[in-house]
Structures are given as structure tokens and as C-alpha cells.
Amino acid sequence: MRLQQSRFLSLPNFEPTMVGLAAAAHGASPAAAAAATPLSTSDLEIPKPDELSWWDWTVFLLHTAAEIEHSLMAQYLYAAYSLGAAPFTGPDLPPNPDALVRGWRATIVEIAKQEMAHLLTVDNLLLFIGGPLNFEREDMPYRSQLYPFPLQLEPLSKTSLAKYVSAEQPADPQQDAAVMREIHQRATGATGGIPINRVGVLYHTLVQIFNVAGRLLDTDLDGSTQTSSQGQTEDWNNGDDTMLVRAVGTRAEAVDALKAIGEQGEGLESPPPTTPAPKSHFDKFFEIYAIFPEAASDTTPAPWTATRPVPTNPNTLPESTDPDEDPTLEAGRITEPTTRLWAQLFNVRYRMLLLDLAHFLHLSGPLTDANLDLLPRGQLQDWALTEMRGSIRGIAGRLTTLPRTPDSNDGVAGPPFELPYTLTLPDRERDRWRLHLTLLDTSAFLIEKLEQSGVTDPILTRLKNTDPPARQFVTDQITATS
């Protein structure tokens, strides 16, 4: 949904309510909190447009939620990949900066993985209500009223962290109110004065829809998809309980899944008190924000530098003698020929990941046969996990070490995360497998061009070893479905 249907959105100003809830949490008098809170939490619901039924409205909101989760995943991964490696430099290095940065990277990658799990859960909910699946996301530089902030791939900084903290903030953060005001001001300044949308309002609205009688009818729900085609927790979390891939078969399970996403990140509510208490995305980003290095003024250097000189919004737009009308995109254009090939290969493998996920949820049945051989669904899941853990991470890391332009003074490149012209799957199963074959062919072509330019790299060697068996499996599926 690249062109979000903004005509469906008429959002009230929820900010006074959020401020009032936060004021109450920080000990403000009941009168002061009430004065700042004209709405109750039950009123924090996005109004449904008259031209959509409740089922249609739910599909629309779930599509938006899927796009937000995908968008946040890409931005968080880029932020993690932007972090540097030893040796670090600066006038005031902390003790063991390498371990500190590695910890930040691991934390942000974990959050990004959890956003992908949220995306799969949202698509499970779409299967449950019979809506079309959605793996799209916002494309630069479009903004929807429901997105937390305009999508921007940028190196990690105090300012980008302020945006992430604000977007993931619950209604009643326990952090110091003055610090939260500073974070909100910084985040709003980074978006040109546009307030950061709280994603929790979207999830709260969805919870209300599933909870309130008479909105979604029983005939709108299909619990059979829970076991036939939805992604299952045990198949995707690899023993990691923080990966919230929830299969849903009842209203109560749908509400629980939405609330679980909200408690981990993006929700109005903080995680319930437990021992040990799980940290939400908000808590984790806030902790990094508190100690992330930044210059005290324009005339003083930062105490130390934690990131690589990666660009904002790297892209593979064609070279032109005329600068792009968007200076940010122009500044992120990758023009060094070999680096550009790496960036294009990254885009192809990113598209392969999204295709694997979408195709997986379009199929039904078990992942393996009686002999534990992978069936088509199992093979798609295995490829998706391999792309995430292997080629995408490896190529992204390589791009952050390669020159962005022929002039080495222009800094290094970064993974562009550019969307393909379409993420719509072909209607026929045979043609879906043909799409896999096309992407494998394109990947092989780019690998060959990289090697012809003199590149030898273990990442390319690994892909050359793993792609031929995948090609044979795909060819067999094309034959079987013809």
C-alpha cells in the first residue's frame, strides 16, 4: 500500500490524553492530570470511516500495522549496521567501547527481529479474518498519518534514538518527565515539527475492535487457519521466547496477541510487573539514548564516535548529471560501480526474504513429511531464516565498509533496503515458483558481475554453494505445479 489511503483517516489529537496519563503517572495532582486529559483511555480509538464495514476497517488497520512493523524493522536494522567496530576514536573514550557498541548492536538487532515477529503475527491476524496478506512498507519519502515518523534509514544518533524512544513510548513511562520532554522536543525537531505518532493507539484500536461485541461477526473469523496456514511460534522463534509469532484461532487469542505486541513495543501499556521484568523496546532504546555520545555544541567534538560514516537513505537511483530534487536521496546515492553491485545484490536478497515470507503464508499444511524432509512450506521458512541470518546481514556489513562514490572522502555505503516495483505474488502457484527462479537468476548474474570486477568474497562463495540446491527445488516445484 505505497499510496496510503489517507482519506480514511481522521485522527483526533491524542497528545493531551497521553500527556495527562504521563502526568498522573509522575505524581501530578488529580486536578492537574484531569485538566490535561480531556479523553479517557477508552476514547483512544481511531474513528472508523462510514464507507468501510468493521471487517474492512480491521483489514485496513492490520495492513497499516504490518507496514509499520516492516518499516521499523528496516530502520532499526540500518541503525544497528551503522555502528562501528574497534578501534574507536575520540577525546573521551569510555571503558571498553567495543563491548559497549557490540551490546548496542545486539540489542537493536534483537528489537528488529522482534518487529519481524510482530509483522508475522499481524499477517496471521489477517489470515484469521480472511484479509489479504501485506508485506509492504512505507517507501521513501512518503508519510501516512498513522506512521510514527517518516521512514528514514540513518546512522544511529542521539536524535534518531529520540524518535525511536518516542514511537515506542507507552502512555505512562516511568522515566523522568523532564528527560522525556527533551526527547520529544528532539524527536519532533528531527521531523520538521511533525509530532511523533504513538503506534500504541493503532494497536489499542484493534484490541477494541476484537473485544467489542457486534463489530467483527463470527462469520468474519476463520479459526481453521490457525493450524493450516498461519506461522507457528515454535517454527519461527528458534527457542527465543521474545519472538512473538502468535497463531490465533479465537477472539481472545487475537486480543492476547495484540496486547503482547503492545507490551513488548509500540503499545500504550507498559509490560506487566514480573520478576525479572522484561524490558520493552522503549526501555531498551531509552537506555542507549541516555549514554549515547554526542557533541555538547557545534564547536566541540563528540567525546567519541560510535558509528561508521554511512549515509542517510542510501539508494541505487540511476546516476544523472542533474542532482535529485531530494538532497537527502542525492547524498545517499551509491555510485561506486562495485559497491553499487553489492547494493543491488542486497536489494535482490531482501526481496527474496519478503517473497519467502509471503509465499510461506499463502501455503497450507505441514513443514516436513514423515521422513522429516522439507516440504515446500518448510523450505520457504528455511530460506527466509537463512536470508535473515546470513546473506542480508553479511552483505549489509560489507556495504558499510565500501566507498559510496569513487571519491573515498564521501564516506562508506550502507544497505539500501529498497523495495521492488511490486510485492504482489502471482495468482498461480506455478508462477510464484517462477518468481523465485527469476530472483535466483538475478542474484547469480550480480554475483558473476562482482567476480568479473575482481571481487572474491566468502559471502559470494556461500551463495554460490547454497543457491543451486534452491534452484533445483524451485525447478521441481514448477514441474509439479504445471
Cell of 144: 501516512
Please measure the distance between the N-terminal and C-terminal CA atoms of the chain and give it in whole angstroms.
31
Give the span between the Cα atoms of 53 and 216, in whole angstroms. Answer: 9
Tell me how far the alpha carbon of residue 369 is from its chain's centroid: 33
Select from 143, 125, 142 the least CA-distant residue to 134.
125
The residue whose grid cell reads 464507507 is 51
Give the span between the Cα atoms of 312 and 68, in whole angstroms. Answer: 19
Residue type, 4: Q
| Three-state secondary-structure class, residue 74 | helix
Question: CA-based angle 43:138:323, to the nearest 5?
Answer: 135
Cell of 384: 527466509
Select from 280, 257, 271, 262 the least CA-distant residue to 123.
257
Residue type, 223: G
Select from 209, 254, 203, 226 the least CA-distant residue to 64.
203
**pLDDT value at position 243?**
83
Select from 60, 37, 109, 116 the least CA-distant residue to 80.
109
Could you tell me if 480 and 428 are in contact, meaning their C-beta atoms sit under 8 angstroms apart? no
Cell of 103: 551490546
Cell of 127: 489470515
> What domains can you pick out in the chain, each with its CATH number?
6-291 (no CATH), 327-481 (1.20.1260)
Tell me how far the alpha carbon of residue 120 is from its chain's centroid: 11
Could you tell me if 120 and 229 are in contact, meaning their C-beta atoms sit under 8 angstroms apart? no
Question: Who's near 454: CB < 8 A, 6+ residues apart?
Answer: none
Give the span between the Cα atoms of 247 and 230, in whole angstroms. Answer: 6
Give the span between the Cα atoms of 333 and 330, in whole angstroms. Answer: 5
Cell of 145: 498519518
Could you tell me if 82 and 400 are in contact, meaning their C-beta atoms sit under 8 angstroms apart? yes
CA torsion angle 90 93 96 101 (round to 10): -60
Q: Using DSSP, how many helices (H) and how many strands (E) does the chain show? A: 17, 0
Give the total residue count for the chain: 482
Count Cα atoms within 13 angstroms, Cβ side, for 273.
1
Select from 130, 429, 92, 107 the least CA-distant residue to 293.
92
**pLDDT value at position 330?**
85
Give the span between the Cα atoms of 68 and 145, in whole angstroms. Answer: 11
The residue whose grid cell reads 559510496 is 404
- Looking at residue 8, the DSSP 8-state letter turns out to be G
Q: Is the Cα torsion angle 209, 211, 214, 218 positive or negative in sign?
A: positive
398 φ/ψ angles, rounded to the nearest 5 degrees: -65, -40
Write down the pTM of the prediction. Answer: 0.90
* Tens place of pLDDT per residue across the chain (482 aa): 444 555 555 555 444 444 444 443 334 444 444 444 444 455 578 889 999 999 999 999 999 999 999 999 999 999 999 999 999 999 999 999 999 999 999 999 999 999 999 999 999 999 999 999 999 987 654 445 667 788 899 999 999 999 999 988 887 788 888 999 999 999 999 888 877 777 788 899 999 999 998 999 999 999 999 999 999 988 887 767 778 899 999 999 999 999 988 888 655 555 555 545 678 899 999 999 999 999 887 788 899 999 999 999 999 988 765 665 677 788 899 999 999 999 999 999 999 999 999 999 999 999 999 888 899 999 999 999 999 989 999 999 999 999 999 998 899 999 999 999 999 999 999 999 999 999 999 999 999 999 999 999 999 999 999 999 999 999 999 999 98
| Three-state secondary-structure class, residue 245 | coil
Question: Who's near 452: CB < 8 A, 6+ residues apart?
Answer: none
